[in-house]
């Protein structure tokens, strides 16, 4: 149980570190704070999962820097690919797309990110984790268990709320697609009137007022349903609402 608690704490620490890196990487160019996590809280589980797997599987080869880099890049890219595929199958939406990046695989992973992940794996095992491990080992075992249990409970609640909200968003996208298709079929010479009527009809399907949906649209700029039109509509509506509120 102590080992499980320790690795649970590793997972949350590195999930938080990944969230911080993502927020800085995306927030600085935008000059605003962007919560880059799928969850509402300050963690990116994909980073925690990748870090724990690197620690668990690659520690035996940590003395060979080149091998650690290559295996780290491969392992973390596999985590990213499987996560992308799984989220697409569950929510029927594409969360990130590297298809415009050189040497990408189905738009899910790319050479640039894999190289960065390989470097991060080396930094993790050679410099970061020895200090993190020492810090965690300094926490009494009973407190490790208590803290791990509390964090797991938090993750369960945050995960449930976010997944249910995202599934509701995903479930509404076909209705928006149908409304957009109907608009194309009904367009007449009086385009302005048709567009106004369509916007009024689509207002009942407008989900951008929901905090979780707004956050996800901000966090994943390349988020799209498999056809892409419904999420583009929602993003346009969100931008319109922001511009209106700023006037």
Spell out the domain ranges in the chain: 2-155, 167-246
What pTM does this model have? Answer: 0.77
- pLDDT tens track of the chain, all 247 residues? 889 999 999 999 999 999 999 889 888 887 888 887 888 899 999 999 999 999 999 999 999 999 999 999 999 999 999 999 999 988 888 888 999 999 999 999 999 999 999 999 999 999 999 999 999 999 999 999 999 999 999 999 999 988 888 777 666 555 555 555 565 555 554 555 555 555 554 454 454 445 555 666 666 665 565 455 555 555 565 565 555 555 5
User: 130-137: long-range contacts (C-beta < 8 A, 24 or more apart)?
Assistant: 132/10, 132/13, 133/10, 136/6, 136/9, 136/10, 136/13, 137/6
The answer to whether residues 218 and 34 touch, using CB atoms and an 8 Å cutoff, is: yes
The answer to whether residues 109 and 81 touch, using CB atoms and an 8 Å cutoff, is: yes
Q: What does the DSSP assignment read for the chain?
A: -HHHHHHHHHHHHHHHHHHHHHHHHHHHHHTS-----SSSSS--HHHHHHHHHHHHHHGGGTT-HHHHHHHHHHHHHHHHHHHHHHHHHHHSEE----TTSTTEETTTEEHHHHHHHHHHHHHIIIIIHHHHHHHHHTS-HHHHHHHHHHHHHHHHHHHHHHHHHHHHHHHHHHHHHHHHHHHHHH--S-HHHHHHHHHHHHGGG--TTSHHHHHHHHH-TT-EESSSHHHHHHHHHHHHHHHHHH-
């Amino acid at each position: 149980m102590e080992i499980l608690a320790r690795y649970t704490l590793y997972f949350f620490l590195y999930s938080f570190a990944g969230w911080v890196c993502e927020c800085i990487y995306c927030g600085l160019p935008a000059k605003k704070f962007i919560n880059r996590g799928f969850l509402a809280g300050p963690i990116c589980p994909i980073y925690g999962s990748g870090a724990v797997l690197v620690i668990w599987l690659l520690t035996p080869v940590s003395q060979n820097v080149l091998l650690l880099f290559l295996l780290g890049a491969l392992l973390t890219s596999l985590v990213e690919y499987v996560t992308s595929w799984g989220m697409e199958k569950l929510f029927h939406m594409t969360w990130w797309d590297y298809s415009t990046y050189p040497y990408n695989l189905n738009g899910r992973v790319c050479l640039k990110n894999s190289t960065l992940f390989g470097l991060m794996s080396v930094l993790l095992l050679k410099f970061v984790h020895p200090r993190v491990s020492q810090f965690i080992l300094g926490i009494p075992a009973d407190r490790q268990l208590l803290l791990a249990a509390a964090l797991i409970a938090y993750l369960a609640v945050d995960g449930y709320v976010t997944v249910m909200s995202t599934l509701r968003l995903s479930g509404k996208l076909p209705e928006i697609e149908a409304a957009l298709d109907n608009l194309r079929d009904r367009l007449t010479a009086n385009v302005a009137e048709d567009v106004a009527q369509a916007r009024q009809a689509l207002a009942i399907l407008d989900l951008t007022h929901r905090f979780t949906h707004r956050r996800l649209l901000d966090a994943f700029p390349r988020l799209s349903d498999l056809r892409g039109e419904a999420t583009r509509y929602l993003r346009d509506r969100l931008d319109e609402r922001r511009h209106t509120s700023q006037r």
